[in-house]
Amino acid sequence: MRTFCNPVFPARQVNLAATPKPITPFGGLVSLIAFFDKIGLAGRISEMIPFAYSSPNSIPPAKTLVAFMISVVAGARRLAHTDWLRADKALHALLGIERFPGTDTVRNFFLRFRQGYIEEFWRPLWKWLLELSWPLPPEGFSLDLDSTVFQRSGNQEGAKRGYNPSRPGRHSHHPLIAFLAEAPLVLHAWLRSGNTGSARGAVAFLTEAFALMPANWKLRTIRADSGFFENSLLSFLEAKGIPYIVVARLTQNVKRKAAALAHWTAIDENYAWARFSLQLQGWSAPREFFAIRERIRESKSAVGRRLIDVNGYTFRVFVTHRQGDGAELWRDYNQRACCEQHIEELKNDLQADGFCMKNFYATESAFLSVCFTYNLLSLYQHASSPEQRKAGYKRPVTLRSEVFIGGAVLGARSRTPVLYIAESWGGSISTNPC
């Protein structure tokens, strides 16, 4: 092996040498690990894990779960990628883990989960996390409902043919997710079969979600797209007294009513709104709607649908249980666009769709682990210093590149382990969890 390296451009030759000291590229994780210690994460997980291993040589399940979540934060995109950290002795010292679990250990951990264990473990753990110190909006949280598509290549349980715009006809899972927009935070999540409609099980899903919320939390509104335009869901929200804004499905009756509207209130030169009441088939009473009309122009792609009877405009129609100006309600609904961004963060930054196994509940448990990790990262940012909070919310991939990645060497001083973090690495590495 060569003991020197010639730089790409003319410069002094660099000698090469080996060191026995443990080195990690994730020195910045020290701040996140300190935060985990502050909230008592390891103890809470150990207390709630619903099973134990009988072998004295096995890695405790709580350590396996925390190791998996750290792997996700570090950038793992498949179960096999957890092996990346098996040789990182410096990171093991920070975690207090003597043996880092490999792919098979992590897979076998998730394969232990059945529906009963998911209810017994994940729901109470989720509720515990929600009861920590989250900043509460004075008017309450906005809850955004959405579903997404997880692409699958195989015959895993629950992988069915359904709505799949990227790969029509291929298998997928179709999870349902509820986000609290102001946190941001995953309030609740289900993994569902790929042939499930968007609103399928939404009432039961929200019933579980409301049960997870701390008693002092309140909801300002619920927002959802046209996939959730279902009488059963709207009736449920009305019975609970929860305001909502839901995109209306443009049935013939809705289109006919929108096309017949004569009195529009201008928002600006391109937009106008109007309000109307309508009772559709199967409904016990009329509901309030408002329509947004947008002028078609070459400089911008108009959002909405064209109505045959009205040329030059596109229309979006919403059903609502809220009073007020249609323009304000429309601007409120537009804030739901952040929900799409958070789903992309789950899928692209933390690879929520990448940890798939043959067993459905094992896959769901891995998916919930990623969502729980997302919430931990969100709370970690809320607990950061005022200077860091002023910088605003950072998506997981930004935290990884700016905070968590940083060279460090594990040494010792008077027999006490010391992690020497490189000052010249850059970024914003901090050892302060709050």
Looking only at the bridges linking them, the beta strands covering 219-224 and 244-247 are parallel
Q: Decide if 203 contacts 210 (C-beta within 8 A).
A: no
**pLDDT score at 19:** 85
From 154, 220, 166, 169, select the one nearest 360 (Cα to Cα).
Answer: 154
Q: What end-to-end distance do the CA atoms of the chain give, in Å?
A: 46
Report if pTM > 0.85.
Answer: yes
Give the pLDDT confidence score for residue 433 in this predicted structure.
47
pLDDT number for residue 345? 95
Residue 236 is predicted with a pLDDT of 97
CA-to-CA separations, 408 to 21, 63, 68, 91, 419, in angstroms, rounded:
10, 22, 21, 9, 6
Mean pLDDT by 10 residues, the chain (434 residues): 83 87 92 95 96 92 97 94 92 94 96 95 96 88 96 91 85 96 94 93 97 94 96 96 96 91 91 95 95 82 66 90 92 92 95 95 97 96 70 87 92 88 67 49
For the record, the structure tokens of 65 come out as 């779960």
For the chain, give every residue range classified as CATH 3.90.350.10: 143-349
Per-residue pLDDT reduced to its tens digit, 278-316: 999 999 999 999 999 998 877 666 667 666 567 788 899
In sign, the C-alpha dihedral spanning 164, 170, 176, 181 is negative
Residues forming beta bridges with residue 223, ordered by sequence position: 144, 245
Q: Is the Cβ–Cβ distance between 176 and 189 less than 8 Å?
A: yes
What is the SS3 assignment for 382? helix
Q: Which of 138, 27, 31 is nearest to 381 (CA)?
A: 31
Contacts made by residues 188-193, CB under 8 angstroms, sequence distance 24+: 188/126, 188/212, 189/367, 189/368, 189/371, 190/364, 191/158, 191/360, 191/363, 191/364, 191/367, 191/368, 192/147, 192/158, 193/158, 193/159, 193/160, 193/162
Count CB atoms within 10 A of the CB of residue 31. 21
pLDDT tens, residue by residue, 25-39: 999 999 999 999 999
CATH code for 143-349?
A: 3.90.350.10
Question: What DSSP character marks residue 158?
Answer: T
- Per the CB < 8 A criterion, the answer to whether 181 and 141 are in contact is yes
Residue 144 has φ and ψ, to the nearest 5°, of: -110, 120
Long-range contact set of residues 239-242: C-beta below 8 Å, sequence gap at least 24: 240/210, 242/321
Amino acid at 375: N
Q: Is 83 helix (H, G, I), strand (E, B) or coil?
A: helix
- Gap between the Cα atoms of 43 and 401, Å rounded: 29
